Amino acid sequence: MFIGLLIGRFQPLHLGHIEAIKFALRQLSTLIIVVGSAQISYELRNPFTAGERITMIRNTLIHIDEIDVRNILIIPVPDTNIHALWTHNLDLLVPSYDVIFTNDPFTIALFQERQKKIVQPLLFERQKFSGTRIRENMVKKENWKDLVHFETAKVIEEINGIERLNLLWKRYNEQH
């Protein structure tokens, strides 16, 4: 009966994330999906709001047979001004947990200093399934829909996500 955290920014949720979620769920009674950098949106690296990302996660997972959403909590967690306080602030916002699933070296370092148990999920075809690449493909009008779940793509289209990303891209280039 273990409780685990899986931490990501989910900009957007992609098939690599879904594999990691399945991997984590097989070892846990409850999985808490932490939607990181929750306060950021409308930026090139972080186009979607936490609410939109939660919608992607929920609408997608509910359509995947082997996942039982009763065992899942989805919690948005903002960054802290003082980086080194991040894991402590996280602890105030989520139920207590036994293990953290993450591949981010910084998160790993901060938790290791606190003697927390960390599992690094195998990255599923990382080159292919990465948020950065998917956002690039969206801007370059290349294939992105095969890299995300059908239900995730539906959410992105309903919120005019591609249009928003193009705008952020345009603005970024004007400023740099």
Q: Residue numbers of the site for a second copy (CB under 8 A)?
A: 38-43, 49-52, 54-55, 58, 62, 69-70, 73-76, 78, 80-85, 88-89, 91-96, 104-106, 108-110, 164, 167-168, 170-171, 174
Q: How far is the CB of 42 from a second copy (least distance, A)?
A: 5
| Strand 72-76 relative to strand 99-101, pairing | unpaired
- Rounded to the nearest whole angstrom, what is the least distance from the CB of residue 95 to a second copy in the complex? 4
Nearer to a second copy, 74 or 147 (CB): 74
CB of 77 vs a second copy, minimal distance in Å: 8
Rank residues 41 and 137 by Cβ distance to a second copy and give the closer one: 41
Closer residue to a second copy, CB minimum distance, 29 or 143: 29
Name the residue nearer to a second copy (CB basis): 89 or 143.
89
CB of 40 to a second copy, least distance (A): 8
